[in-house]
Structures are given as C-alpha cells and as structure tokens.
Amino acid sequence: MIAKSMYKNGAILCAFALATTGSVAVVQSLTETRIAEQEKAQLMSLLSQVIPSERYDNQLYLDCVESDAPELGPAGPHIIYRARLNGEPAALLVRHITPKGYSGNIDILTAVTKRGEITGVRVTRHEETPGLGDKVELSRSDWITTFNGMQINGANDGRFAVKKDGGEFDQFTGATITPRAVTGSVGEAAWYATTHFDALFAKDNLCAGETQ
C-alpha cells in the first residue's frame, strides 16, 4: 500500500517538477536575447561614461583582457577593457575592487591613458551608508569627477588620498572611510595600468567571441 502511494506521489511530484522547470525554460529562452541586450547596453553606457568618445574608436566591450594583479583588489580576475584610436592603444578601462570600504567591497571602473592620465572614474557597486558614503555615486554628488584629468605619478602618489591624509580629495562630513578607500584603490589601479600598459595590450583579446 505504502509503496503504491509513494510511486503515485513521486510521479506527481516529478510531473510538477517537469512542468514548472519547463515553463521557466520557455520564459528564459524568450527573454534571453532581450536580457543580453540590456546588459550590453548597460555595459556600453557605463564604459562610455569614463572615456570621452573622441579618445577611442573601437567597440570597447569587444576588446578586453583579465588580470589577477593584487593592485586591483581581491576576488580576481578583474576585467580590463582596451580602448584604441586608429588601431593604436589609447587607454585601459580597469574594473577593480577595494575591500576597504565601510561595508563590503566597492566596485570601481577607472579609465587610464598611456601617459597615466585618468579620464574618468565611476563606482559601479557599493553598500556604503546612504546619505554619507554613497556620495561616491555620480547620482548623489559630483565628487567622483575630481579624478577627471588627474595624472598618476608613482606607486604611492600622495595626491590620491583624502585631504585629511594629505591628498587632494574632499572627505565627506561623517564619512572618511569610503572616499579614502576609493581614492587609494583608484591610485593603485591607475599606476598598475600605466606601468603594465604595453603588456596588457600585448595579451590575447578575451571578449572578441561575444559578437553582436
């Protein structure tokens, strides 16, 4: 008796499992291209924010390498997009992470030219305190644009720090940890990109396969 009801219940559960996963699979296949497009559009708009359009002429998301360098933060590999102008290396767009934020990792995108000039920086993900640390977001404050046009001059460039530590960046009232983490991380990543510029452009392209 028990065995019989077990078979029956098992069969019913199995049928439901097939029907539910089947419907999810159908919706997934219907939305797949649209989701990929949305993600691509988001990535393109993010990348175009940190580098002026006259500085490059290639499709940034189709040209990238990876790096495990400790300067770019933990949890690698980190993706680095390569900007070219007329086929010549122009700039590197480095995704890097700093674990020194107030709560959790801060994901950052920094664009650096061959000469070590920073063309733009954006914080792409963070969990900092709303109203205090979140001023690193462009939508909350234009603090992040202070980086634009700055030149990195060495591994421990003192200007890439908050004013309290002798640098050039404003700290926020009540939140010094977040800008300190961001400036330090951008400085390290920019110096890494500048010193490894040619080596990174010599590597094989990892994003070329994602055409369309």
Query: In 3D, which of 135, 139, 188 has the Cα closest to residue 161?
Result: 188
Contact between 7 and another protein by CB under 8 A: the answer reads no
Which one-letter amino acid corresponds to residue 187?
G
What CA–CA distance (Å, rounded) separates 18 from 8?
15
Decide if residue 141 touches another protein (CB under 8 A). Answer: no
Distance, CA of 81 to chain centre:
10
- Candidate ranges 24-32, 96-104, 152-160, 202-210; the one touching another protein (CB under 8 A): 24-32
Q: Does 166 bind another protein (CB under 8 A)?
A: no
* Closest residue by Cα to residue 49 from 146, 107, 108, 121: 121
Binding mask 95-134 for another protein (x = CB under 8 A): ----------------------------------xxxx--
Q: Which stretch binds another protein (CB under 8 A): 8-16, 56-64, 87-95, 108-116?
A: 8-16
In angstroms, what is the minimal distance from the CB of 12 to another protein?
A: 6
- The radius of gyration of the chain's CA atoms, rounded to the nearest angstrom, is 23
Question: What is the size of the binding site for another protein (CB under 8 A)?
Answer: 25
Minimum distance from residue 185 beta carbon to another protein (Å) = 22
Contacting residue, 45, 53, 86, 173, with another protein by CB under 8 A: 173
Residue 7's CB is within 10 A of a number of other CB atoms, namely 10
Among 3, 4, 7, 35, binds another protein (CB under 8 A): 35
Q: Give Cα separations from 114 to 140, 153, 199 (angstroms).
A: 30, 12, 12
Q: What are the beta bridge partners of residue 84?
A: 89
For tokens 């290639």, what's the residue?
58
Site residues, another protein (CB under 8 A):
5, 8-9, 12-13, 16-17, 20-21, 23-24, 27-28, 31, 34-35, 38-39, 42, 129-132, 173-174
